[in-house]
Structure 1
Amino acid sequence: MLVDMQLDTFSEHLHFQAPLCPDNLFGHLIATAVPGVEEWRGGVYRRTLRLPCGFGIVALQPFPEHVACTLELSDSRDLASALDLCRFLLDLDADPFVVDAALSADPLLAPLVSAAPGRRVPRTVDGAEFAIRAVLGQQVSTKAARTHAARLVAAHGTPVGDLFLFPLSFDPADLAMPESRRRTMAALLGALESGLDLSPGADRAVAREWLSSLPGFGPWTVESILMRSLGDPDAFLPTDLGIRLAAEALGLPSTPAALVRRSEAWRPWRAYAVQHLWATGDHEVNRIPA
């Protein structure tokens, strides 16, 4: 039990190259937050961290010129690693001028980029956690995915301060989901135990091939994990319903194969194009709550 452990506090400003559009960045993290692991309160996003030497909690608040970052760590040696994870989570090392210029070359994307320059890709601080959550969210709504994840945390989470670490080990047979998805989860957990690396520095080609070989892992799940866990800037989701609806509304091809061909012009920044296309819809992931 870690709930009573002493946590040392550190405060930093996370700087970035402006512009930065925080709407979808924090909006996505807030809308998909797992109760007990993450929270949004008073304009601050908080969540737990699993770190090389221990554990921690981070609080992040966006400002025009920086993101305020407060870290509570069980081991101060984790400070640099924790800051790196936070920067990765918020995609703060992206060069918005390069990305925006490339996407603006497409006349159908240019108005979206002009309206919200500096969009980043919301990522994760734990690749294995995100992969598990991706399986929990297959073929269900965002709300239902959060409910499944919250139940898993309540049953198996490890306390850290007033929050919990997301569990990476559990029996899939206990999950309230179809047997086919339990088999998918078991395959994922087995792969993670066997060495599947979903960290930011992992080999993306190896991870994509391994994930694609698992039962129940279609292109949408694989590419979502490559985008969020490994930070692949070119991950693309042509079968996503929101992407297809946005594409049709903009006059882009809406069938997956045709959209993939059209997206060749956006490479290697298709993950950022995904964010702009998603943002055309009226969904809570696209805005920060008032």
Structure 2
Amino acid sequence: MHSDFDACVRAVQSKDARFDGWFFTAVLTTRIYCRPSCPVVPPKPQNMTFYPSAAAAQQAGFRACKRCRPDATPGSPQWNERADLVARAMRLIADGVVDREGVPGLAARLGYSARHIERQVLAELGAGPLALARAQRAQTARLLIETTTLPMSEIAFAAGFASIRAFNDTVREVFALSPGDLRARVAKGRPAATSGALSLRLPFRRPLTPDNLFGHLVATAVPGVEEWHDGAYRRTLRLPNGTGIVALRPEPDHVACRLWLTDWRDLTQAISRCRRLLDLDADPVAVDSLLSEEPVLAPLVAKAPGRRVPRVADGPEFAVRAVLGQQISTAAARTHAGRLVRAHGEPITDPGGNLTHVFPSPEALAAHDPEQLAMPRTRRATLAALLHALTDGALDLDVGSDWQQARTQLAALPGFGPWTVETIAMRALGDPDAFLPTDLGVRYAARDLGLPSTPAALTRHADAWQPWRAYATQYLWATADHPINVMPRDDTPPAIQPAPMAATR
């Protein structure tokens, strides 16, 4: 969008927050870059230029606005809507791969040369992978400087900088303030977090209907790994350098996030996974506009606009849970998963609630005899095949995976039918067009709304909903009287009733 000068100018002049993260406005006279919704008086159009990323603006010599904090905008929805090379690269950069493995590691994960990745990302984002990762490190550093009491030396390495000097130089260049000045600007009376926890706000594009989002996560929560406590959804996290716990609470204009991490180097990854879990970088206006063209969906959209797709913090974890839950009720699936966690999960200490374990990794599960699992023999074989594919590297369900390739590989495993494959594509891979025409809940909703209810006919009808069929599924599911559609209001989890099951696995 940044190349459409007139459209960008109109968005800036109207302070339209829907475009925050889509592009960045750089002011030639002040050498400052802003988000489109910056509250200051818009500059003259002849003094504006536009960039597709904060990194590109920084690389061109502009510094971040102290008023609108453009480095803290929602991410561009493109990276979660698209499945091409650049989108996959951006998802991996957001997950900290460049900080941990460098550009060669990024290229190896994507299966292309480092030079090709550099060329493709630079052409579209105006900055290469290293510059994008540097901009992300600067934002992480700012969060830690302003919201914790950590020493600056610890912040530098936690944010991913290789040296104190690089940390100081980057902060001064991006924010036109030293790290000490940034901390001094924290408002009086706003206590900084201790070194054990961090509180921050996760922005999103309005509107957002939190009921189905949080209700689904709570209704399917694995005991010990997830819970609803004190008005927040809480869960444990497995991260590259350690473990963590996150509490996510819906607020009118943001999601309040409180993090406990064993290693602050995992902060960027933790934030990225929380945003992905809640689908916070979605563009609800684009989704709802298209779905509202369907006469039977339009009233559902108008009633609760901005539904998100509940996603996951860990793709392999969800795939295991999907197998455990094949053709059984939600309550039974939670019971099976809870047993698995108690037997093989990593114990964790929860300073703020009742969580006890991190969900076991595929490697930990593969090391145990699947015959010991209390489930039908065919499902044990399905789980064993999945774990083998995950542990030997044949199957990639992480953030940078190729959606269609992963579908093909899943479908080749024993016991993986269309419902399981598409459920994983929707929740774990994050494909916004994943669709479950065999799901009984979807079919019953379609029938009650006067839509075709057979899988083949419904699939043909749903062609008009592309590329947002995963969101259409959320609206269809919302027509049923089911606990996943209602957000809990207190510490008592909603009663779990049988979940819709697929006609086939």
Q: Same fold by TM (over 0.5)?
A: yes
Q: Does structure 1 residue 80 correspond to structure 2 residue 268?
A: yes
Indicate the residue corresponding to 1:3 in structure 2. Answer: none
Partner of 1:197: 396
Residue number in structure 1 paired with 2:462: 263
After TM superposition, list the pairs within 5 Å mapping 1:102-141 onto structure 2.
102-141=290-329
Alignment correspondent of 1:167: 360
Structure with greater Cα Rg: 2
The amino acid across from 1:182 in the alignment is: R
The Cα of 1:199 is off from its aligned counterpart by 1.3
Partner SS for 1:61:
strand
Q: Residue by residue, what CA displacement relative to the aligned partner does 1:157-208 show, whole Å, maximum 9, x if unpaired?
A: 1012132111123232111111000000000000101211111221101110
Name the counterpart of 2:238: 50
Deviation at 1:233, TM superposition (A): 0.1
Q: CA deviation at 1:219?
A: 0.5
| TM-score in terms of structure 2 length | 0.56
Structure 2 distance, partners of 1:172, 1:260, is 36
Identity %: 67
- The aligned counterpart of 1:17 is 205
Q: Is 2:345 the partner of 1:157? A: yes
Matched, 1:275 2:474: yes
CA distance in 2, matches of 1:192, 1:9: 32
Give, as a single letter, the amino acid of the residue that structure 2 aligns with 1:176.
A
Q: 1:4 aligns to what?
A: none
Alpha-carbon distance in structure 2 between the residues aligned to 1:230 and 1:9: 29
Q: Which letter maps to 1:173?
A: E
Q: Secondary structure at the match of 2:290?
A: helix
Aligned ranges for residues 56-95 of structure 1 at < 5 Å?
56-95=244-283
* CA deviations over 1:228-275 (Å, ceiling 9, x no partner): 111000000000000000000001000000000000000000000000
Task: Choose 215-224 or 191-200, whichever is displaced more.
Answer: 191-200
Two-structure CA RMSD over aligned residues (Å): 0.9
2:434 corresponds to 1:243: no
CA distance in 2: counterparts of 1:199 and 1:89, whole angstroms? 13
- Indicate the residue corresponding to 2:411 in structure 1: 212
Unmatched runs of 5 consecutive residues or more in structure 1: 1-6
Q: Deviations over 1:196-224 (max 9, x none)?
A: 11112211011100000000000000000
Task: For 1:43 and 1:172, locate their aligned partners in 2 and report how far apart those are by CA, in whole Å.
Answer: 37
Distance of 2:243 and 2:452 partners within structure 1:
46
Deviation per CA, 1:123-163, whole angstroms, max 9, x where unpaired? 00000000000000001000000000000011111012132
1:187 to 385, 389, 393: 385
Higher relative contact order (CA 8 A, sep 6+): 1
The structural deviation recorded for 1:9 is 1.1
For 1:29 and 1:87, the matched residues in 2 are separated by 14
* CA–CA separation in structure 1 for the residues paired with 2:401 and 2:340: 26
Instruction: Provide Cα deviations, 1:67-87, integer angstroms capped at 9, x if missing partner.
Output: 000010011011111000000
Contact 1:8 1:76 in 2 (8 A): no
Structure 2 Cα separation of the partners of residues 68 and 172 of structure 1: 39
Q: Which amino acid is the alignment partner of residue 241 of structure 1?
A: L
Does 167-176 or 191-200 show the bigger shift? 167-176
- Which among 374, 382, 387 is matched to residue 176 of structure 1? 374
Aligned residues: 284
2:337 maps to a residue whose letter is A
Report the more deviating stretch, 101-110 or 169-178: 169-178
Separation in structure 2 between the aligned mates of residue 160 and residue 232 of structure 1, nearest angstrom: 31
* AA of the residue aligned to 2:298: A
> C-alpha separation between the residues in 1 aligned to 2:212 and 2:200?
23
C-alpha deviations, 1:79-103, integer Å up to 9, x for none? Answer: 1110000000000000000000010
Q: Which residue of 233, 237, 240 corresponds with 2:432? A: 233
Shift of 1:8: 2.8
TM-score normalised according to structure 1 size: 0.96
* Distance in 1 of aligned mates of 2:386 and 2:461: 32
